[in-house]
Amino acid sequence: MTHLSRRGMIGMGGAIAVASGARAAITDDDPIAIVSTWDFGKAANAAALARLNAGGTPLDAVEAGARVPEADPDNHSVGYGGYPDRDGHVTLDAIIMDEDGRVGAVAALEDIVHAITVARSVMEKTPHTLLVGEGATRFALDQGMARTKLLTPAAETAWRDWLKTADYRSIANIENQLPGPPDRR
């Protein structure tokens, strides 16, 4: 497997399409690039490729890949196990676009593990492009998605520790400083 930094990717030039331009079926001869910009993207990329290999569309692959970190309780940057905001709420955002340029997004979504699936439902089942907060959560529940407490004990402990200083320093690329073995990232 080749590892490429974000800067290296930009420096390569050329066009890399992620979940776009897939009007025709993917064949073994078609080049496929699945790119993650985070250290924990390896598992996400594997899930995306598995979905493609099972006959899924590039859009299916994007969704499958994003669902991996969303469901990982050890990944504190997004999804289930993500660190909460200053008030102790884990809120999720996601956006997805299809090959025709249609977009679906959610922001400040609470109590739903897979924000990317909600975003896709917004794109495919509503005239909207963005649902936010309580409206996004209600929509997800109406679509049959389960309400799940996203604040895990580990994330709550970290949040309570953070409350002692309430230090708001911005740390660039902090999501790449996750604990655990590289194969889980």
- Confidence check: pLDDT of 18 > 50: no
pLDDT band at 46, cuts 50/70/90? very high
What value does the mean pLDDT take over residues 150-167? 93
- Confidence check: pLDDT of 21 > 50: no
Q: Provide φ and ψ at 105, rounded to 5°.
A: -150, 155
What value does the mean pLDDT take over residues 34-53? 89
- Of 91, 98, 138, residue with least CA distance to 115: 91
- Confidence check: pLDDT of 42 > 70: yes
List, for residues 58-100, the tens digit of each pLDDT value: 999 999 999 999 999 999 888 999 999 999 999 999 999 999 9
What value does the mean pLDDT take over residues 16-34? 52
What value does the mean pLDDT take over residues 27-52? 84
Say what the pTM is. 0.77
pLDDT, position 20: 34
Chain centroid, CA 38 distance in Å: 11
DSSP readout, 74-97?
Answer: T--SSSTTPPP-TTS---EEEEEE
Reduce the DSSP state of residue 180 to 3 states and report it: coil
Distance CA 119, CA 99 (A): 15
In single-letter form, the type of residue at position 44 comes to A
List, for residues 106-135, the tens digit of each pLDDT value: 999 999 999 999 999 999 999 999 999 999
pLDDT, position 62: 95
- Confidence check: pLDDT of 23 > 70: no
